[in-house]
Structure 1
């Protein structure tokens, strides 16, 4: 239960500064948007949007630095929203940009969780975050591509799935995670005053 208590302490901590207030505002807007989408959009769109909420909430609960918290919230919401309004088909290259950034921020979250669980060495060491973040990013990319394939195969053929798209998405995700790992090897990912998990 110490993990739950620490996450709750980070969640209930009042925001400090413009960036933390902004991250909480984006989080609140996402929650409202998902609830509204349940009644106004097809169920598949609601499901896609709701997938952004765990990451948006987790970034607050693990005590990410304010800027990274805001970036995580915005990124996962943009990633889900782009699917709902079909930006991935409309804008060439948007898919790769979103995969790189989204996988990068999720790899940073994975680094914090693995560090707190003492699965890896502290993220201040130079090589560990680069290797672990890249590995986590590639694993997350593979998992996401399997979810896309499952959705295409068993739910709706409106999901765009091709071999080239899958490989390109995984390369972009791996690159984003590599960048996240390189940044984590230089800078702390969490607030100094967070409750340790």
Structure 2
């Protein structure tokens, strides 16, 4: 059985290429810095960021979005480990608005390129499916916001009671996430661009290896 070389994961050179590659290196450095200066729990959060910033090359994400997404994840994580959300009242709202939108945009592109299950926002406008594409991005971001708030509740209840949860905060965060995702979806459709071809599926015949 044969398989296209690009169906599994991008080569290391793609992970390190461009501004997104710089952000991925910074994410790795952040893990070491957090481990040395803050401890293993905070370092573990940065490890999750490393995994997240490795995803854009799998979906042919444009360099500008790759970099913005990575910076957003890093900024959000560092704000958490440094306690900035408690110190700056409006920061949480801004992060939910901006970072959720970036994550939803990247998630939409990954789904479009890797599975073909949703319309690619870069070609949606020309195909007359711009509104549907925006709705997909908004739905993804809203779903991610709900999942995040559930995670915060579970963390507060079972791991760390100092994690702040409140009805107003939860609703506000989800509204900001939905709004940011809608704006991100509209931006993807408006900017457009060339959508990469979907990865080739495994091919072969019975009895082949």
Name the TM tier (shorter chain).
0.7 to 0.9
Q: Which moved more, 1:33-42 or 1:112-121?
A: 33-42
Trace 1:61-100 onto structure 2 (pairs within 5 A).
61-100=58-97
Q: How many residues align?
A: 191
Q: Which moved more, 1:44-53 or 1:145-154?
A: 44-53
**Counterpart in the other structure of 2:105:** 108
**Counterpart in the other structure of 2:140:** 136
Tell me: CA distance 1:10–1:132, structure 2 relative to 1, closer, same or farther (3 Å). Answer: farther
**Counterpart in the other structure of 2:49:** 52
Instruction: Encode CA deviations 1:143-196: one digit per residue, 9 max, x unaligned.
Output: 01111111111111121111111111101100110001101222237x76x674
The alignment status of 1:40 with 2:44, answered yes or no, reads no
**Counterpart in the other structure of 2:166:** 162
The alignment status of 1:121 with 2:119, answered yes or no, reads yes
Tell me: CA distance 1:3–1:169, structure 2 relative to 1, closer, same or farther (3 Å). Answer: farther
The alignment status of 1:12 with 2:17, answered yes or no, reads no
Q: Compare CA radii of gyration and give the structure with the larger one.
A: 2
Gaps of 5+ in 2: 125-129, 200-209
Distance in structure 2 (CA, Å) of the matches to 1:10 and 1:129: 29
Higher share of residues assigned helix: 1
Give the C-alpha shift of residue 67 in structure 1. 0.7
Tell me: CA distance 1:15–1:26, structure 2 relative to 1, closer, same or farther (3 Å). Answer: closer
The two structures have a TM-score, normalised by structure 2, of: 0.81
Gaps of 5+ in 1: none
Distance in structure 2 (CA, Å) of the matches to 1:195 and 1:148: 37
